[in-house]
């Protein structure tokens, strides 16, 4: 960008420099503070790659082994850093391979900008080689998308793309750029976007709603907070903590909200949802006031909606007006950025302690500990459990690691047992449940937080969906720790088959390759353990390593994740076995 600015200064202020569209794209990315991007080249995006070659000292491009990996890496990067993740691909199959990552980022509100090449303007609609209607395909899974067909559109559209991706409720944006627009030259100048007519990213908080919320909180006998990712996206961690402490309210989290409040905080009562903690699920239907903060009442959180917190008044703190009354009726809706609204609420809330109410959570936790947690993290049986592996990682990392999980049993176990002492530490595919997310997301997470340990927890199923991204770890020496919890099954589906399909294990038994040899093929230090005596020392060795490290843990093949709210059941029907 400096070069552009310098050149601009040296000429008339109205006069700008004439550069190609492809070069303009690089200048836009630099102006938006992009340092790292993930992608895969191809015919229709080659002019941009040619510029990336020239600008490689300013902009790092990581060649993933599949475009899906590029999106998940961009997501991992965005989720740990709070910055916009960037992925780039060519037209046709390159573009369609982005779709899963776009859908994942859309449902989990992750800021991401995807750039795709497109056939030249004159060929649009002719079924040209590698032409696909990525605008049509990506429309339902993007916050915004746009096709650029003229070079001169690039600065304004790119500025708008970044603004839309990161403002308000964040989300993915796709910009499709025809090849002629990359090649043609035009007078370039760049101005960041700060507003778009017709788009209001953050609703203005209404003091009347905040006062009404405070009144409900101050008069509640059994208030209960459930927070989600909105706290992290809104950077409202301190405000949440202050509220919880001042008003003495037990608080639970959705998996997307995990790590916003220290796991060890006495008022952090655990996780809600299908495999969440016993107390928070049961108490959802016992509280007199449910305070939802930056969460969207996903069905995996609510169970059967008709029986969800019907006894309670509901306050919904939310940035997206479309979420209000979407699933659960809000008696008071507080629209706005969570940092701002919670900040305004705090002075209006009375100091309080709800000890007797909080004690019920502790009692329920003890029941859950005795029946489930104890056996998960301190098992007495021979086989290794997923829970004890997570617990050893907690110990070896002093609860400071970024935990990136894939999807399935190991994900639920990781979310249940990983301990967090700082925000943005739980990176997982929440809404979409994308198997294959973790390995590339861990790469992005590590690159977005180089000072932190990043541990990917992956099942043997999901690992093989994006295993090719080991190539990135190898080529770029990304020091991520990869832990595959191998139960030789697609564990969560197998669990459902056991519980609800009379143990008919249709296509859930995995015959796996030698994962250690595969990792070694990529020159990644690799170990396999299957006995408890080796667990602690191996995990300590892994965490002490400064290099990429692969660890396969052979765990019990038919363990189940409990507690569990069966699909379609009420949160009150949470099962301990």
Partner 1 sequence: MENKWFTISVYSENNVGLLNRISGIFLKRHINIESLNVSKSEIDDVSKFTIVAHTTEKWVHNIVGQIEKQIEVIKAYYHTDDETIYQESALFKIASGLLFDERQIQNIIKDNNAQIVTVSRDFFVIAKSGRRNEIDEMHDQLKPYGIMQFVRSGRISVTKDEMKISAILKEF
Site of interaction with partner 1 (CB under 8 A): 135-136, 139-140, 143-147, 164, 195-200, 320-326
Measured from the CB atom, the residue of 316 and 494 that comes closer to partner 1 is 316
Q: How far is CA 221 from CA 248, 354, 438, in A?
A: 11, 7, 41
Is beta strand 313-318 parallel, antiparallel or unpaired with respect to 332-335? parallel
Nearer to partner 1, 325 or 537 (CB): 325
Q: Tell me if residue 147 falls in helix, strand or coil.
A: strand
What is the enclosing helix (H) or strand (E) of 216?
helix 207-219
Q: Of the two residues 149 and 185, which places its CB atom closer to partner 1 in the complex?
A: 149
Sign of CA dihedral 136, 138, 139, 144: negative
Smallest gap from Cβ 403 to partner 1, in A, equals 31
Residues 59 and 9 sit within 8 Å (Cβ to Cβ): no
CA distance 451 to 473: 17
Closest of 170, 174, 161 to residue 31, by C-alpha: 161
Do the Cβ atoms of 59 and 145 come closer than 8 Å? no
Contacts of 40 (CB under 8 A, 6+ apart): 63, 64, 66, 67, 70, 88, 89, 90, 94, 97
Q: Which of 5, 8, 46, 130 is catalytic?
A: 130
Residue 10 or 194 having the CB closest to partner 1: 194
Minimum distance from residue 239 beta carbon to partner 1 (Å): 25
Would you call 161 helix, strand, or coil by DSSP? helix
As measured in angstroms, the least distance from the Cβ of 322 to partner 1 is: 3
Q: How far is the CB of 174 from partner 1 (least distance, A)?
A: 11
- C-alpha distances in angstroms, 392 versus 371, 396, 417? 20, 6, 10
Q: Is 313 exposed, middle or buried (0-12, 13-18, 19+ CB in 10 A)?
A: buried
Instruction: Name the active-site residue from 67, 237, 391, 469.
Output: 67
Q: Report, in Å, the least distance between residue 64 CB and partner 1.
A: 28
Q: Which of 179, 222, 364, 424 is catalytic?
A: 179
Task: Name the residue nearer to partner 1 (CB basis): 335 or 456.
Answer: 335
Beta strands, E only, 71-171: 85-89, 112-118, 144-148
Known active-site residue 546: no
Task: Report the C-alpha gap between 508 and 330 in whole angstroms.
Answer: 41
Between 9 and 204, name the residue whose CB sits nearer to partner 1. Answer: 204
Residue 447 CB, nearest approach to partner 1 (Å): 29
Annotated active-site residue 46? The verdict is: no
The minimum distance between CB 333 and partner 1, in angstroms, equals: 12
* Closer residue to partner 1 (CB): 195 or 499: 195
179 part of the active site: yes
Q: Specify whether the CB–CB gap between 250 and 360 falls below 8 A.
A: no
User: Whole-number minimum distance, CB 262 to partner 1, in Å?
Assistant: 33
Distance CA 180, CA 122 (A): 9
> How many other C-beta atoms lie within 10 A of the C-beta of residue 537?
12
Query: Distance between CA atoms of 490 and 537, rounded to whole angstroms?
Result: 28
* 550 carries an active-site annotation: no
Cβ-based nearer residue to partner 1, 431 or 444: 431
Nearest one of 483, 497, 575 to 276, comparing CA atoms:
575
Q: Of 136 and 266, which CB lies nearer to partner 1 in the complex structure?
A: 136
10 Å CB burial of residue 350 (0-12, 13-18, 19+) is exposed
* Cβ–Cβ under 8 Å, residues 298 and 254: yes
Rounded to a whole number of angstroms, the minimum distance from the CB of residue 111 to partner 1 is 14
Q: Minimum CB separation from partner 1 for residue 272, in Å?
A: 23
Look up tokens 């788009």; give the residue.
199
| 121 vs 326, beta carbon nearer partner 1 | 326
Phi then psi dihedrals of residue 223, to 5 deg? -80, 150
First to last CA, the chain: 60
- Return the bridge partners of 145, or none: 174
The one catalytic residue among 492, 542, 543, 564? 492
CA angle 380, 382, 388 (to 5 degrees): 60
Could you tell me the two tokens for 431?
């809404």
Q: Which of 54, 56, 129, 400 is catalytic?
A: 129
Catalytic residues: 67, 129-130, 179, 492
């Amino acid at each position: 960008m400096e070069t552009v600015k310098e050149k601009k200064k040296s000429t008339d202020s109205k006069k700008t420099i004439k550069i190609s569209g492809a070069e303009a794209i690089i200048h836009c990315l630099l102006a938006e503070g992009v340092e790292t991007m993930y992608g895969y080249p191809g015919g229709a995006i080659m002019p941009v790659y040619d510029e990336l070659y020239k600008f490689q000292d300013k902009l790092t491009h990581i060649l993933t082994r599949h475009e899906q990996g590029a999106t998940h890496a961009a997501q991992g990067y965005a989720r740990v850093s709070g910055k916009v993740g960037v992925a780039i691909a060519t037209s046709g199959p390159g573009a369609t391979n982005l779709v899963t990552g776009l859908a994942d980022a859309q449902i989990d509100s992750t800021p991401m900008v995807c750039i795709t090449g497109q056939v030249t303007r004159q060929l649009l609609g002719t079924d040209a080689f590698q032409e696909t209607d990525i605008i049509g395909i990506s429309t339902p899974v993007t916050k915004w998308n746009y096709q650029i067909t003229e070079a001169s559109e690039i600065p304004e559209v790119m500025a708008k793309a970044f603004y839309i991706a990161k403002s308000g409720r964040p989300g993915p944006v796709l910009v499709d750029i025809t090849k002629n627009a990359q090649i043609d030259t035009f007078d370039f100048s760049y101005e960041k976007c700060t507003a778009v007519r017709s788009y209001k990213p953050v609703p203005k908080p209404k003091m009347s709603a905040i006062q009404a919320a405070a009144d409900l909180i101050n008069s509640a006998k059994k208030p209960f907070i459930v927070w989600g990712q909105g706290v992290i996206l809104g950077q409202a961690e301190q405000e949440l903590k202050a509220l919880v402490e001042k008003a003495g309210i037990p608080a639970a989290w959705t998996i997307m909200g995990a790590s916003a409040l220290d796991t060890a905080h006495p008022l952090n009562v655990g996780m809600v949802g299908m495999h969440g903690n016993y107390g928070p699920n049961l108490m959802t239907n016992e509280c007199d006031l449910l305070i939802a903060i930056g969460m969207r009442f996903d069905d995996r959180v609510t169970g059967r909606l008709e029986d969800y917190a019907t006894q309670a008044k509901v306050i919904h703190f939310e940035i997206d007006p479309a979420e209000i009354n979407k699933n659960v009726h809000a008696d008071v809706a507080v629209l706005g950025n969570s940092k701002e609204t919670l900040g305004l609420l705090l002075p209006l809330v009375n100091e309080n302690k709800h000890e007797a109410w909080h004690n019920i959570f502790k009692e329920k936790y003890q029941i859950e500990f005795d029946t489930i947690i104890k056996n998960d993290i301190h098992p007495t049986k021979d086989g290794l459990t997923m829970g004890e592996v997570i617990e050893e990682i907690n110990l070896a990392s002093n609860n400071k690691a970024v935990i990136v999980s894939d999807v399935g049993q190991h994900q639920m176990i990781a979310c249940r047992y990983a301990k967090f002492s700082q925000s943005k530490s739980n990176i997982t595919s929440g809404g979409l449940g994308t198997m294959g997310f973790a390995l590339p997301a861990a790469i992005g997470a590590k690159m977005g937080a180089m000072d932190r340990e990043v541990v990917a927890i992956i099942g043997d199923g999901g690992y093989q969906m994006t295993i090719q991204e080991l190539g990135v770890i190898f080529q770029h020496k990304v020091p991520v720790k990869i832990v595959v919890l191998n139960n030789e099954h697609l564990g969560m589906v197998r669990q459902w088959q056991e519980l609800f399909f009379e143990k008919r294990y249709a296509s859930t038994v995995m015959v796996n390759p030698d994962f250690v040899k595969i990792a070694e093929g990529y020159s990644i230090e690799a170990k396999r353990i299957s006995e408890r005596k080796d667990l602690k020392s191996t995990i300590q060795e892994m965490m002490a390593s400064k290099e990429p490290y692969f660890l396969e843990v052979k765990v019990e093949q038919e363990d189940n994740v409990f507690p569990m709210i069966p699909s379609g059941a009420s949160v009150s029907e949470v099962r301990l076995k």
